[in-house]
């Protein structure tokens, strides 16, 4: 049954997933090309200076990409459910409603994880060919909060779709945006080194928000 649920989710997000993977790939290619360009034109030692000593982040594009991915996957997964109240069909399936909602979110989260891990792996391969390993490690720590922001965006999007009342949706969105902003600083390498664990725990709190709005959906809260 769970496999069938996942199948449904895949059908919904298939194109969003593929297009986001494509987008990420294109950006990775761009970064790779830029790196090789600067290393050639500026001379490696000068470009190393700019990155390692001056702290120039050469993958800044990825600050907002996870947020975009979270939004797109969230939209593609939940828009069809809310459209014409299809969620009623989904929740009518012979499983506990909370379990259904959580499986849906789990699937989307897994899709994001796949995309983000893929990004990490591929970007690491690109970076290690031009820079020492310390730069790769710094890149991991620097990008982690942005990836976290991507997950939060997805969780906020999913719970917002299920909420029916526009005022409440607006409040959730405002809250979500303010929270996500705290994760998106990109002025230097590894600035979240000390606080990443706390941000991680706080971000996780968003993951079951859909149970709250889902319950309100079931109750038929209209006002």
Partner 1 sequence: MENVVECVNLTHYYGKRLIYENLNFVIRKGSIFGLLGKNGTGKTTTINILNGYLKPKAGHCYIFGEDSQNLSPQTKARIGFLMEGHIQYNFMTITQIEKFYSAFYPRWKKEAYYELMEKLEVDPEQKIATMSCGQRSQVALGLILAQDPDLMVLDDYSMGLDAGYRRLFLDYLGAYAKDNNKTIFITSHIIQDLENFVEDIVILDYRSVLLSTTVKDFKENFKQFTMKIPEGSKISLQKDDVIRNFEILKDRLTVYSFKSRQEVENHLKALNIPYRDLKQVPMSLEDAFIGLTGKY
Partner 2 sequence: MIVRLSRYLLIILTVFVAAVYLPQLYWVSFEPRIVPPMVFYSPVLEKFMIGHLGHGEYYFTDEDGNKYTRQQADKLLPLLNYRLLAARGQMPDSLLGQPITLEEIRHNNISMRITTKDINPPQIPVFPLFESKPPRLRLGLPDEYFRINEVMQFINAHTNRVVDSLTQIFSDALIREGFHFPARGIYGNPTTRKPYDAGYFIVDQDWQLFHLKKVHGKPYCKNISLPKGLKIVWISVKEKEIREFCGIAISDDNRLFLVMLDPERLQPLPVKEFNRKTDQIIFMGNIFFRWITIRSYGHSTTYLTDRQYNLLKTHTETWPTKEEMLVGKANTFIFPFELTLQSGRTYFINFDFTSYRWQALILNVVLMLFVLLFWRREQKIKYKWLDALIVLVTGVFGFIGVLIFEHPDA
Which one, 30 or 96, has the nearer CB to partner 1? 96
State yes or no: residue 138 binds partner 2 (CB under 8 A): yes
Q: By CB under 8 A, is residue 193 in contact with partner 2?
A: yes
Q: Locate tokens 């050469």: which residue?
A: 58
Residue 166 binds partner 1 (CB under 8 A): no
Q: Give the end-to-end CA distance of the chain in Å, rounded to a whole number.
A: 34
Q: Taking Cα atoms as reference points, which of 18, 105, 124, 125 lies closest to residue 69?
A: 18
Residue 4 to residues 104, 109, 113: CA-CA distances in angstroms?
11, 17, 20
Which one of partner 1, partner 2, none is in contact with 3 (Cβ closer than 5 to 8 A by kind)?
partner 1
Would you say 189 and 132 are in contact if contact means Cβ atoms under 8 Å apart? no
Instruction: Count residues near partner 2 (CB under 8 A).
Output: 48
Most distant pair of Cα atoms in the chain: their distance = 65
Instruction: Kindly state the smallest distance separating residue 148's Cβ from partner 1, in Å.
Output: 30
CA dist 89 and 135 (Å) reads 49
Binding residues vs partner 1 (CB under 8 A)? 1, 3-4, 7-8, 11-12, 80, 84-86, 88-89, 91-96, 217-220, 222-223
Q: Which residues bind partner 2 (CB under 8 A)?
A: 39, 43-49, 51-53, 55, 98, 129-132, 134-135, 138, 168, 171, 175, 178-179, 182, 185, 187-195, 198, 202, 205-206, 208-212, 215-216, 219
């Amino acid at each position: 049954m769970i496999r069938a649920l996942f199948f449904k989710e895949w059908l919904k997000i298939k194109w969003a997933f593929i297009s986001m993977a494509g987008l990420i790939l294109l950006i990775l290619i761009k970064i790779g090309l830029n790196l090789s360009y600067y290393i050639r034109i500026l001379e490696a030692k000068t470009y190393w200076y700019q990155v390692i000593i001056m702290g120039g982040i050469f993958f800044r594009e990825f600050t907002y990409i996870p947020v975009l991915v979270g939004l797109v996957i969230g939209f593609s997964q939940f828009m069809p459910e809310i459209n014409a109240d299809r969620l009623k069909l989904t929740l009518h399936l012979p499983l506990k409603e909370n379990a259904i909602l959580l499986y849906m979110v789990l699937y989307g989260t897994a899709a994001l994880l796949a995309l983000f891990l893929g990004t990490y792996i591929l970007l690491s391969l690109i970076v290690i060919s031009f820079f020492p390993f310390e730069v790769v490690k710094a890149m991991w720590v620097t990008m982690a909060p942005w990836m976290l922001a991507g997950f939060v965006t997805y969780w906020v999007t999913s719970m917002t779709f299920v909420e029916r009342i526009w005022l409440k949706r607006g409040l959730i969105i405002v809250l979500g945006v303010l929270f996500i902003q705290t994760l998106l600083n990109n002025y230097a390498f590894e600035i979240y080194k000390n606080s990443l664990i706390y941000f991680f725990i706080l971000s996780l709190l968003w993951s079951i928000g859909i149970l709250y709005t889902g319950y309100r959906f079931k109750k038929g809260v209209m006002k």
